[in-house]
Chain A
Amino acid sequence: MARMKFLCDADRCIECNACVTACKNEHEVPWGINRRRVVTLNDGKPGERSVSMACMHCTDAPCAAVCPVNCFYTTADAVVLHSKDICIGCGYCFYACPFGAPQYPKVGNFGSRGKMDKCTYCAGGPEPDLSTIEYEKYGSNRLAEGKLPLCAEMCSTKALLAGDGEMIAEIYKQRVIKRGYGSGAWGWKTAYRETVAI
């Protein structure tokens, strides 16, 4: 079974934000919730790199572990999803998440911030695949259609890779060997406790 991962090749990422708007487009994500974002490091200085980040669908995901109501589950593709019916919007997952993925419809106070929302790896939620209710709560389910997350599919420079971890690691490895440099698989150590060895 495939073990789905994201890998952002920072030596390709140009902070074009296509991944961000592709996500908005695909799932009709409202203003204020960013399932994916691009962070620029060392801005304006030589060595500047941008990295597109969303839920990394960690191995042994911290969000799932700390959730007081166990609303998370991991699919056979190793995608970390959650149930908005069970979620109580407590925000613990955000504290535990190394990548800042969880978002809430309301901000200001902890009380009634609504159900957590995060990147689903375009794999919907616990409702029946491709149902309206699934779409409305979690967005579309491209995985069930045999497609990959739209952010990666639309990445302007093919910096953001999505797919089976071993395959995308291999692609990245080939790239680094070909071009002679690479700033690494950002977040992999934290998310998957492994990195792409070149």
Chain B
Amino acid sequence: MLIKRKTGGPGRNNRQTITIGETPRALDRRAFLRNSGLVAGGLAAAGAIQLGSVRKAEAAGASAIGSEVTVKKNICTHCSVGCTVTAEVVNGVWVGQEPSFTSPINRGTHCAKGAAIRELVSSDRRLKYPMKMVDGQWTRISWDQAIDEIGDKITGLRDKYGPDSVYWLGSAKFTNEAAYIFRKFGAFWGTNSVDHQARICHSTTVAGVANTWGYGAQTNSYNDIRNAKTMIILGGNPAEAHPVSLQHVLSGKEINRANMIVIDPRFTRTAAHATDYVRIRSGTDIPVVWGILWHVFENGWEDKEFISQRVYAMDDVRKEVAKWNPEEVERVSGVPGEQLRRVAEKFAKEKPATLIWCMGATQHTVGTANVRALCILCLATGNVGKPGTGANIFRGHTNVQGATDMGLDVTSLPLYYGLVEGAWKHWARVWDVEYDWLQSRFDEVPAKAGRKARTRKESMEAPGITSTRWFDGVNLPEEQVDQRTGIKAMMVFGHGGNTVTRLPEAVKGLTKLDLLVVADPHPTTFAALDARRDNTYLLPICTSLEMDGSRTASNRSIQWGEQIVKPAFESKNDYEVIYRLANKLGLADKMFKNIKVANNVPEAEDILREINRGGWSTGYCGQSPERLKAHMRNQAKFDLVTLRAPKDDPEVGGDYYGLPWPCWGKPELKHPGTHILYNTNLHIKEGGGTFRARFGTERNGVTLLAEDSYAKGSDLTDGYPEFTMAVFKKLGWDKDLTAEEMASITKTGGTNIDAVSWATDLSGGIQRVCLDHGVTPYGNGKARANAWNLPDPVPVHREPIYTPRPDLVAKYPTRPDERQLRMPNIGFSVQKAAVDRGIAKDFPIILTSGRLVEYEGGGEETRSNPWLAELQQDMFVEINTGDATDRGIKDGQFVWVSGPENNAKAKVKALVTDRVGKGVAFMPFHFSGWYQGDDMRKFYPHGTDPVVLGESSNNTTTYGFDPVTGMQETKCTLCQIRAV
């Protein structure tokens, strides 16, 4: 809480008020000058030169000089908290940043990155014009030449190797609109290999959470954490990764005197503020969670009513949990039973309790299972669907939630429509193109390596290759890759190259590519690894601060950001580049049929309207650009805790801030959005809801629908399936539909009108009628404690591939080798080999990784910002005091960190600290530009090298992929550390 000085207005007048009350000792600055007497030479004369300021005079409103200050609001491009950035612009130059006090999310505050964000648009290290590598030299080219050559090359590759040979890597820094047209572009190009950063941060969360209760997103919000009486932060360090969220976390902790329990292998900056800190061994999250649940079940602390009404198959979990008695938990994870009992009691009894997790839970070979276990912990204690409870999943990038929603994912179309015929047909209708034409764009895959051939339709419905494995898609023998050929070209938009594990193999892959295109404000690691001589293009893209569009924060709130300044240098925004490329390929007319395009730039608002027209499944239908802009105008009206505006407000009355999805029905329906998912205590029109009936109505004779539980004011007072015309007819609700809506439904349904559902009805009629009856369009189901479609339906502990405890591998092996997402996953073989070769003896230290507050992601952007770079100038490894002493390592000296694969080594500085326990080392993952001890600065195009370079932590990371999503293992591998 800050106090704004109340006296006086801005500018000179205010100064007057200050001087009036002058105390005898205090000296006004002018009086000071007066008193200084004799003026000596030129030194003081300077004070007389040039009165009136270019900058602040105007900023203060003292309009001595003509030009005006305009204030623009955009959203910070870094983490997912969604802080509003308020910019002061004079003559098209961003001259200052002011606190955004009215934003209910950040309330004026920022972290280091947000407070330094102005530098991004004027950074002298930005890529300034398109470039092409000619014989190992970077040369400047024009945009027209770049688009022409790239277009010709990918067309050539498509003709020769098929559409799947080109990989489309998108970005979590896209706006929703850019993410959407990028995914649409992938569909029109004819591939499902369209991915983005969610793969490597929360793909396992999305898979695990969606498979539990319906939607793969944070159930509550940052602000709602203020209601919690107990919070567990597991595998997350929001103090560094999401600093502004700590404002809500710590306020909640203070106001409610809440328990703040941090479970982490590392004593993080977050842990420093905890009321209980649980240090675990990396990769033993499931034993710890089951260990907590063991105490819950043992003492009968579970929420029995909640479980019986809203959870399916909790008994299956009980069986697994029974194995994890305190002794076994301590043997595997190192956490004593007594401590977990305390945690269990607090979480189950001091409610509402919320569970917060981040990449410490997700980036594992058991990532999806970890997430599932965490959801089950919430379910067992009844901590979902109420204020102060829930799975508060802090996502990583500004729009990683939105980009995931928009389907930058190899397994889905926009808004989680799966890769099935019905979904493709839905989008074909929205896009106004022929389904058959779309299908014709996909590849026919011949039979190989004992696998059947694939038709175009099958290719269309086959998930693509994940971004974590793109280089395996290049390097592996072609018969192992489940498509016509391996990957031949990488089209990389806004994505660092150092964020995937096994970097040495990525470098190998880079050398083999026929084409590499990097479209980014900075050259990124992809362009600077010295792996290529030609066929490499750099396209300067502006930051999202330089473009209009919406962004979805972690809490599903959608915020409209307006262009602060025009794209710097020759950079262009994503919309224009995608449009130009589509145009070159002859796809533009079809792709932008219903989207306004001016001067090659598609209009963001119009793209959002198209998203609204098709986004029924996730409730992305009510957030029109007009409503979102009204929210930005009226930020001050939203409540800090409930995020709701007063009902009587003319513009945003009753809305939740940012219309968090699902926001049902057409915009005119004025659904307020859903602040807390699955909250049965509210009418659906007020943002209430139930668990999603996504998995059928019964299984093996047991119902999957909720029992005696329903949202407030519901006409149906028991569980119900998702709504289709067939269900409507049974209930007689079809009569509530207007003629116009019926006409649209009939057109959609064709011969089978009964199959038209809440998610495919383009008229929004089904959703409207559902709302009128107080029911959730997606049904009222049970959350699943047993997700039978996943590899481990009930999560089981599996040791990391490279484990420091080979003795546990026999009992808790990783999953057998299998094929996933077009690729082989040979984790079992690798684990076995590591155990057989005694890797844990040569590499005795657990290596884990994470974020620094100053940097973000691959770090090229933030490491190019001198205000941030100054604060972290060296890549480092945190090593325990004891380990350092054993090795004769001093704080601040260079050390070699070596890994068990590829003879990998990294030269980094030692940070000797007890943040990590003995036998554990930690490296931040934001660095790149040094490779195995060599400084690669000269390989960057001149002048575009980031201020700070360092070894990438992924130089030394190793094999290991989640079976569901291909998530990489970054949090638990082994290493050795030696003094240089």
B914 touches A179 (CB 8 A): no
B26 touches A74 (CB 8 A): yes
Q: B854: which A residues are within 8 A, CB to CB?
A: 17
Q: A179: which B residues are within 8 A, CB to CB?
A: 253-255, 257
B731 contacts the other chain (CB 8 A): no
Q: A16-B853, A17-B112, A145-B59 are in contact. Are A126 and B33 (CB under 8 A)?
A: yes
- Scan residues 48-92 of chain B and give those whose CB is less than 8 A from a CB of chain A: 49-57, 59-60, 62
As a 0/1 sequence over residues 5 to 43 of chain B, the CB contacts with chain A under 8 angstroms (1 = contact) are: 101111110110011011101111110110010000001
Q: A16-B111, A127-B29, A157-B109 are in contact. Are A25 and B54 (CB under 8 A)?
A: no
Q: A18-B243, A157-B109 are in contact. Are A130 and B29 (CB under 8 A)?
A: no
Alpha-carbon distance between A134 and B254 when the two chains are bound, in angstroms: 41
B1 touches A158 (CB 8 A): yes
B32 touches A156 (CB 8 A): no
B27 touches A74 (CB 8 A): yes
Q: B21: which A residues are within 8 A, CB to CB?
A: 1, 76
A26 touches B96 (CB 8 A): yes
How many residues of chain A are within 8 Å of chain B by beta carbon? 76
Alpha-carbon distance between A11 and B50 when the two chains are bound, in angstroms: 45
Q: B60: which A residues are within 8 A, CB to CB?
A: 130, 144-145
B97 contacts the other chain (CB 8 A): yes
Across chains A and B, the number of contacting residue pairs, with CB separation under 8 Å, is 248
Q: A18-B109, A126-B32, A145-B11 are in contact. Are A44 and B913 (CB under 8 A)?
A: yes
Q: A1-B23, A148-B5, A156-B243 are in contact. Are A46 and B273 (CB under 8 A)?
A: no
Taking a contact as CB atoms closer than 8 A, the residue among B32, B49, B114 that contacts A18 in the complex is B114
A194 contacts the other chain (CB 8 A): no
Q: A145: which B residues are within 8 A, CB to CB?
A: 10-11, 14, 56, 59-60
Taking a contact as CB atoms closer than 8 A, the residue among A15, A147, A155 that contacts B109 in the complex is A155
Q: A67: which B residues are within 8 A, CB to CB?
A: none
A65 contacts the other chain (CB 8 A): no
Q: Which residue of B lies closest to A149 (CB)?
A: B2
B1 touches A133 (CB 8 A): no
Q: A141: which B residues are within 8 A, CB to CB?
A: 56
Alpha-carbon distance between A148 and B6 when the two chains are bound, in angstroms: 11
Taking a contact as CB atoms closer than 8 A, the residue among B47, B108, B119 that contacts A133 in the complex is B47
A127 touches B47 (CB 8 A): yes
Interface pick from B560-568, B601-609, B813-821, B866-874: B866-874
How many residues of chain B are within 8 Å of chain A by beta carbon? 87
A103 contacts the other chain (CB 8 A): no
Q: A1-B21, A14-B269, A15-B239 are in contact. Are A130 and B868 (CB under 8 A)?
A: no
Q: Smallest CB–CB gap between B7 and chain A, Å?
A: 8
B810 contacts the other chain (CB 8 A): no
Taking a contact as CB atoms closer than 8 A, the residue among A15, A47, A155, A164 that contacts B3 in the complex is A164
Taking a contact as CB atoms closer than 8 A, the residue among B7, B32, B247 that contacts A83 in the complex is B32
Interface pick from A90-98, A167-175, A185-193: A167-175
A54 contacts the other chain (CB 8 A): no
A22 contacts the other chain (CB 8 A): yes
Most B C-beta atoms less than 10 A away, residue of A1, A15, A152, A154 = A154
A163 touches B243 (CB 8 A): no
As a 0/1 sequence over residues 703 to 746 of chain B, the CB contacts with chain A under 8 angstroms (1 = contact) are: 00000000000000000000000000000000000000000000
Q: B853: which A residues are within 8 A, CB to CB?
A: 14-17
As a 0/1 sequence over residues 60 to 87 of chain A, the CB contacts with chain B under 8 angstroms (1 = contact) are: 0000000000000111111001010110
Q: A14-B269, A16-B239, A45-B914 are in contact. Are A158 and B29 (CB under 8 A)?
A: no
Alpha-carbon distance between A128 and B96 when the two chains are bound, in angstroms: 20
Q: Smallest CB–CB gap between B251 and chain A, Å?
A: 8
Q: A148-B4, A156-B243, A163-B5 are in contact. Are A17 and B111 (CB under 8 A)?
A: yes
A195 contacts the other chain (CB 8 A): no
B250 contacts the other chain (CB 8 A): yes
Q: Which residue of B lies closest to A163 (CB)?
A: B3
B172 contacts the other chain (CB 8 A): no
Q: Smallest CB–CB gap between A125 and chain B, Å?
A: 7
Q: Which residue of A lies closest to B12 (CB)?
A: A129
A132 touches B55 (CB 8 A): yes
B99 touches A150 (CB 8 A): yes
A111 contacts the other chain (CB 8 A): no
Q: Smallest CB–CB gap between A131 and chain B, Å?
A: 6
A108 contacts the other chain (CB 8 A): no
Alpha-carbon distance between A143 and B867 when the two chains are bound, in angstroms: 23
B845 contacts the other chain (CB 8 A): no
Alpha-carbon distance between A50 and B36 when the two chains are bound, in angstroms: 40
A20 contacts the other chain (CB 8 A): yes
Q: Smallest CB–CB gap between B96 and chain A, Å?
A: 7
B115 contacts the other chain (CB 8 A): yes
B915 contacts the other chain (CB 8 A): yes
B57 touches A161 (CB 8 A): no
Q: A154-B115, A156-B247 are in contact. Are A73 and B46 (CB under 8 A)?
A: no
Alpha-carbon distance between A41 and B636 when the two chains are bound, in angstroms: 37
B797 contacts the other chain (CB 8 A): no
As a 0/1 sequence over residues 99 to 111 of chain B, the CB contacts with chain A under 8 angstroms (1 = contact) are: 1010000011111
A163 touches B53 (CB 8 A): no
- Scan residues 469-484 of chain B and give those whose CB is less than 8 A from a CB of chain A: none
Q: B272: which A residues are within 8 A, CB to CB?
A: 14, 46-50
B826 contacts the other chain (CB 8 A): no
Q: Smallest CB–CB gap between A187 and chain B, Å?
A: 19
Q: B254: which A residues are within 8 A, CB to CB?
A: 175, 178-179
Q: A21: which B residues are within 8 A, CB to CB?
A: 112-113, 115-116, 867-868, 871
Q: Which residue of A lies closest to B99 (CB)?
A: A153
Q: A17-B854, A25-B119, A156-B246 are in contact. Are A131 and B51 (CB under 8 A)?
A: yes
Most B C-beta atoms less than 10 A away, residue of A19, A141, A144 = A144
Alpha-carbon distance between A138 and B51 when the two chains are bound, in angstroms: 15
Q: Which residue of B lies closest to A151 (CB)?
A: B115
As a 0/1 sequence over residues 834 to 867 of chain B, the CB contacts with chain A under 8 angstroms (1 = contact) are: 0000000000000000000110000000000011
Taking a contact as CB atoms closer than 8 A, the residue among B243, B257, B915 that contacts A14 in the complex is B243
B2 touches A162 (CB 8 A): yes
A48 touches B267 (CB 8 A): yes
Q: Which residue of B lies closest to A181 (CB)?
A: B254
Q: A15: which B residues are within 8 A, CB to CB?
A: 239, 269, 853
Q: Smallest CB–CB gap between A165 and chain B, Å?
A: 11
A76 touches B243 (CB 8 A): no
B46 touches A133 (CB 8 A): yes
B56 touches A135 (CB 8 A): yes
Alpha-carbon distance between A66 and B240 when the two chains are bound, in angstroms: 39
A154 touches B99 (CB 8 A): yes
B491 contacts the other chain (CB 8 A): no
B270 contacts the other chain (CB 8 A): yes
Q: A75: which B residues are within 8 A, CB to CB?
A: 18, 26-29
As a 0/1 sequence over residues 589 to 611 of chain B, the CB contacts with chain A under 8 angstroms (1 = contact) are: 00000000000000000000000
Most B C-beta atoms less than 10 A away, residue of A2, A16, A147, A156 = A156
Alpha-carbon distance between A75 and B29 when the two chains are bound, in angstroms: 7
As a 0/1 sequence over residues 907 to 948 of chain B, the CB contacts with chain A under 8 angstroms (1 = contact) are: 000000111100000000000000000000000000000000
B5 touches A128 (CB 8 A): no
B244 contacts the other chain (CB 8 A): yes
Given contacts A143-B18, A147-B10, A150-B97, 18 further A-B contacts (CB under 8 A): A18-B114, A21-B867, A25-B96, A34-B870, A74-B25, A126-B30, A128-B30, A130-B12, A132-B53, A135-B55, A144-B14, A146-B9, A146-B10, A153-B99, A157-B250, A163-B5, A171-B1, A178-B254
Q: List 22 A-B contacts (CB under 8 A).
A: A17-B853, A20-B112, A21-B112, A21-B867, A22-B115, A48-B272, A73-B27, A74-B27, A75-B29, A76-B23, A77-B26, A131-B57, A135-B56, A146-B11, A150-B115, A153-B108, A154-B109, A156-B110, A156-B243, A158-B107, A162-B2, A179-B257
Task: Please list the residues of chain A having a beta carbon within 8 angstroms of any beta carbon in chain B.
Answer: 1-2, 11-12, 14-22, 24-26, 31-32, 34, 43-50, 73-78, 81, 83, 85-86, 124-135, 140-141, 143-148, 150, 152-158, 161-164, 167-168, 171, 175, 178-180
The 4 closest A-B pairs by CB, nearest first: A16-B243, A21-B116, A44-B915, A179-B254
